[in-house]
A and B are shown apart, each in its own frame.
Chain A
Amino acid sequence: MAALTLETLDLVNPDLYVQRGYPHEEWALLRKEAPVFRYVRPDVEPFWAITRHADVVNVSRQPDLFKSSQLLFVTQDEPGSPLPDEAVLRQLLNMNPPEHGEFRRVVNQRFTPRSVQQLKDQVERITTEVLDELVGREECDFVTEVSAKLPLAVIAEMFGIPRADWAMMFRLSNAMIGPADPEYGGSETIKENLEKARMEFFQYFNQLCEDRRKNPRDDLASALANGKAFGEPLPPFELFSYFALLIIAGNETTRNATTGGLHALISYPDQWERLKHDPSLAPKATEEIVRWTSPVIQFTRFATADTVLGGQQLREGDILVLFYPSAARDEEVFERPSVFDIGRYPNPHISFGIGEHFCLGANLARLELQVMFRQLAQRMEFVELAGPTQRMRSSFVGGIKHMPIRYRIRAR
């Protein structure tokens, strides 16, 4: 293979992510030689690639200078792709202060550590049930049978969505986050995939909201349906966008951290033995898994004024891409960053982001991962890969679609 150079390295081609996973060598080179790097390639919107932990923090904590926009992430232009402003919803990820805070307050009380702690028994029960279904067999697809099920069940229960509709939520959520992936799409073009999924989602949620306005309950759907921002009910498009955001975000990323976490534990058998020997390591293991997998690859910001960052002159309107998996392997912050160490402490990763847009569901994700990996450590006596893993075609979120495993699991 040709040597890696700044001029030729590729960061946003979705096919690259299918074939090789995350471009850690590329990011390492950028952190070392060009941490604020002007990325100019054919068929890609030019941007500044931000790869160091300190710079990602610095940009994230100045939401007025570096704003979020309709452009959530940068990818290779492809025929049939939606235009950037067609592809997005109006939701927290592309809002700015003060609107962002106002909308975030509609639900944020339900995601505080205290609120999330009240879900613990529920998460334990769902996890146990999910693992029970593996008993009596020796092989399964860990993604569809385990890691996808827990987050979906938890967010669906929080919303008050009946169990009969969970499978549909799973399908639509996949189609909305991975419209460029042929397995999740099904239509002729990426744009059509997205529109079809969105329409179905929209109709379902409309009914749910109507019901919760008439019969409010103590669930997320009621909080949204009856929620207010700036003293007014949420407008329909914003309301739907909020729903889509929470369902998708509550689904995909935790799924991918779970899958990636088990993959890492299989790849580092000493760490798997360590966790089995001491399941109380699950909280630290969770932090390391989130650092290691960094399921969100990138979010963008744009500069609202000329400014200097990392010695580079940025112009007003320039796009910045924050690469979270790169920040998670920054040699200046983490000792031996390329080692998977489930006891790592301190572990100041920023894979949930930081500042204004810090992951709303971080506490929930942590709880789900902690419970899942503690139960796996207690029940799964043996596990290995039973075939090749298949990654999702996306340069936005790092997903594993299928991961066949061979295992032995204890009955309860």
Chain B
Amino acid sequence: MRVVVDHNLCEGNGRCAEVAPQMFELRDDDRSYVRMQTPPQDLRAKIQLAVTLCPRQAIRLIED
């Protein structure tokens, strides 16, 4: 699986970094960045939660 944050949408609300800090970090430009290209399966549930909670619906989980 891959995870993509759409930076046209992201406004740094930071819910993703709250629920899945291993996967997302909020940087100084107030946007969320993924910490790794191919996250391990055990992060899937947390990433899913981040996808759901994102107020701007800016995160996509793409299956390989």
Contacts from A to B (Cβ < 8 Å): 60-61, 98, 101, 108-109, 111-115, 348, 352, 354-356, 358, 362-363
CB under 8 Å from chain A, chain B span 11-26: 11-14
Decide if the interface of chain B is mainly helix, strand, loop or mixed: loop
Q: Once bound together, how far apart are the Cα atoms of A108 and B56, in whole Å?
A: 12
Whether the pair A358, B56 counts as a contact (CB closer than 8 A) is yes
B28, closest chain A residue (CB)? A114
Residue in B12, B30, B56 whose beta carbon sits within 8 Å of that of A356 in the complex: B56
- Write out the residue numbers on chain A whose beta carbons fall within 8 Å of the beta carbon of B57: 60-61, 354-356, 358
Total A-B residue pairs with C-beta atoms closer than 8 Å?
38
Residue in A98, A108, A358 whose beta carbon sits within 8 Å of that of B55 in the complex: A358
Is B8 in contact with chain A by the CB < 8 A criterion?
yes
Decide if the interface of chain A is mainly helix, strand, loop or mixed: helix
- Write out the residue numbers on chain A whose beta carbons fall within 8 Å of the beta carbon of B5: none
- Write out the residue numbers on chain B whose beta carbons fall within 8 Å of the beta carbon of A112: 11-13, 30
C-beta contact mask, B15-47 vs A, less than 8 Å → 1, else 0? 000000000000000100000000000000000
- Write out the residue numbers on chain B whose beta carbons fall within 8 Å of the beta carbon of A352: 55
Residue in A60, A109, A354, A358 whose beta carbon sits within 8 Å of that of B30 in the complex: A109
Q: Once bound together, how far apart are the Cα atoms of A51 and B9, in whole Å?
A: 26
Contacts from B to A (Cβ < 8 Å): 8-9, 11-14, 30, 52-53, 55-57
Whether the pair B13, A113 counts as a contact (CB closer than 8 A) is yes
Q: Once bound together, how far apart are the Cα atoms of A112 and B53, in whole Å?
A: 16
- Write out the residue numbers on chain B whose beta carbons fall within 8 Å of the beta carbon of A354: 55-57
B14, closest chain A residue (CB)? A113
- Write out the residue numbers on chain B whose beta carbons fall within 8 Å of the beta carbon of A101: 8-9
Q: Once bound together, how far apart are the Cα atoms of A352 and B53, in whole Å?
A: 13
Whether the pair A111, B11 counts as a contact (CB closer than 8 A) is yes
List 23 A-B residue pairs with CB atoms under 8 Å apart, sorted by A's residue number: A60-B57, A61-B57, A108-B11, A112-B11, A113-B13, A113-B14, A113-B30, A114-B30, A115-B30, A348-B53, A352-B55, A354-B56, A354-B57, A355-B55, A355-B56, A356-B9, A356-B56, A356-B57, A358-B11, A358-B55, A358-B56, A362-B55, A363-B13
Q: Once bound together, how far apart are the Cα atoms of A112 and B11, in whole Å?
A: 6
- Write out the residue numbers on chain A whose beta carbons fall within 8 Å of the beta carbon of B13: 112-113, 362-363
Q: Once bound together, how far apart are the Cα atoms of A278 and B47, in whole Å?
A: 33
Chain B's nearest CB lies how many Å from the CB of A114?
Answer: 6
- Write out the residue numbers on chain A whose beta carbons fall within 8 Å of the beta carbon of B12: 112-114
Chain A's nearest CB lies how many Å from the CB of B23?
Answer: 19
- Write out the residue numbers on chain B whose beta carbons fall within 8 Å of the beta carbon of A348: 52-53
Q: Once bound together, how far apart are the Cα atoms of A101 and B8, in whole Å?
A: 7
Chain A's nearest CB lies how many Å from the CB of B40?
Answer: 25
Q: Once bound together, how far apart are the Cα atoms of A109 and B53, in whole Å?
A: 20
- Write out the residue numbers on chain B whose beta carbons fall within 8 Å of the beta carbon of A98: 8
B31, closest chain A residue (CB)? A112
Q: Assuming A108-B11, A109-B30, A114-B30, what are 16 further A-B pairs, CB within 8 angstroms?
A: A60-B57, A61-B57, A98-B8, A111-B11, A112-B11, A112-B12, A112-B13, A113-B13, A115-B30, A352-B55, A354-B56, A355-B55, A356-B9, A358-B56, A358-B57, A362-B55
Q: Once bound together, how far apart are the Cα atoms of A114 and B53, in whole Å?
A: 19
Q: Once bound together, how far apart are the Cα atoms of A106 and B51, in whole Å?
A: 26
Q: Once bound together, how far apart are the Cα atoms of A102 and B7, in whole Å?
A: 12
Chain B's nearest CB lies how many Å from the CB of A175?
Answer: 31
Between A98, A352, A356, A358, the greatest number of chain B beta carbons within 10 A of the residue's beta carbon is seen for A358
A61, closest chain B residue (CB)? B57
Chain A's nearest CB lies how many Å from the CB of B17?
Answer: 11
- Write out the residue numbers on chain B whose beta carbons fall within 8 Å of the beta carbon of A60: 57
Chain B's nearest CB lies how many Å from the CB of A68?
Answer: 15
- Write out the residue numbers on chain B whose beta carbons fall within 8 Å of the beta carbon of A113: 12-14, 30
- Write out the residue numbers on chain B whose beta carbons fall within 8 Å of the beta carbon of A363: 13
